[in-house]
Amino acid sequence: MCAQSFSLTKQQVLDFKKEGYLILPSFLPENLVNSLKAEVDRWVDQGFRQKSIAGCKEKHPPELMELELGEHGWLISYPPLMTILEQLMGTSFAFHHLHSDRHDSGCTHKNWHHDYEQYPQSNRSHAMVHVFHYLNGLDGAIADLVVVPRTQYEVMDKRALDCFGVDTLPHEIAINNLPAGTTVIAHSAIFHARRAKPFSVGKVPPRYFIDCSYCQVGVRWPQVKPYWRGMLAKARELKLDRGTWKDLFDEKHFYDPFEILPQFDQINQGSLIEKLIA
């Protein structure tokens, strides 16, 4: 990466498109990492993380969302990241969600899956990316990020490989040696997993993890949180777009899939293409 401009080299852009992920070592500066870690501790230790999971089926936003924590909100539109996303997705993209968590020794696995939002899973014409910020880096002690490069263009259900748990897959890459403040940008459709390690008896530094997702403008994307309108409104109220990235929190790039899914399941039967034949 060019240190002054924060832009990617042409090779990095090509690598992302081909492999489906990109690692930016020590991307976040130390002072920002420390502020974010303090916010994650508050989020987890004061029970807001648990409340946000419990309340994720409600239309009303929970009493506190990640983007209201302070630096978490500004991280969404962190200018060096925006410059990079513009190189990977074009100039217009929208914010989808932000999650924040702290994994301690003995944390659970997350089975093989991808996170590309689409009903039905049918193409990859527009990009969606997940940006993983590892505030303490990764050291192999608590859990590895494992990815299978080049799977982002294989159109499959999100949980198509769930039957393999976190078993080793051909051509997988285990990412377990990253310095603090490292950011991994992944195409949302790449298959990945969190492979947890056995509980450590000694004290092990926690695995701080912030996950922020973005969608390329051009189609409407399904939301996953019923309170997404309130979430985007709060981001606009806080002016987290910095007056620059106007599409970031615009509702027009999303739709609410929850109530129409049963109807969709009725349509999504048999040979879909034949529905175009008169």
Closer residue to Fe ion, CB minimum distance, 35 or 225: 225
SS3 letters for the chain?
CCCCCCCCCHHHHHHHHHHCEEEECCCCCHHHHHHHHHHHHHHHHCCHHHHHHHCCCCCCCCCCCHHHCCHHHHHHCCHHHHHHHHHHHCCCEEEEEEEEEEECCCCCCEEEECCCCCCCCCCCCCCEEEEEEECCCECCCCEEEEEECCCCCCCCCCCCCHHHCCCCCCCCEEECCECCCEEEEEECCCEEEEEECCCCCCCCCCEEEEEEEEEECCCCEECCCCCHHHHHHHHHHCCCCCCCCCCCCCHHHEECCCCCHHHHHHHCCCCHHHHHCC
Closer residue to Fe ion, CB minimum distance, 175 or 245: 175
In contact, 254 and 223? CB cutoff 8 Å: yes
Binding residues among 188-227 for Fe ion as defined by CB under 5 A:
none
Minimum CB separation from Fe ion for residue 85, in Å? Answer: 18
Residue whose CB is nearest to Fe ion in the complex, by number: 115
Minimum CB separation from Fe ion for residue 202, in Å? Answer: 29
User: x/- site string to Fe ion, residues 8 to 37, per CB under 5 A?
Assistant: ------------------------------
Minimum CB separation from Fe ion for residue 246, in Å? Answer: 28
User: x/- site string to Fe ion, residues 66 to 105, per CB under 5 A?
Assistant: ----------------------------------------
Residue 199's Cβ-count burial label (10 Å; 0-12, 13-18, 19+) is: exposed
Closer residue to Fe ion, CB minimum distance, 66 or 241: 66
Count of residues that bind Fe ion according to CB under 5 A: 1
Closer residue to Fe ion, CB minimum distance, 187 or 253: 187
Closer residue to Fe ion, CB minimum distance, 19 or 247: 19
The Cβ-side half-sphere exposure at 108, using a 13 Å CA radius, reads 5
In contact, 169 and 94? CB cutoff 8 Å: no
Closer residue to Fe ion, CB minimum distance, 35 or 183: 183
| Residue 144 sits in the site that holds Fe ion (CB under 5 A) | no
Minimum CB separation from Fe ion for residue 201, in Å? Answer: 29
Binding residues among 102-121 for Fe ion as defined by CB under 5 A:
115
Two tokens at 161? 């490989």
Closer residue to Fe ion, CB minimum distance, 39 or 115: 115
Closer residue to Fe ion, CB minimum distance, 115 or 117: 115
Euclidean distance between CA atoms 202 and 184, whole angstroms: 28
Q: Which residues bind Fe ion (CB under 5 A)?
A: 115
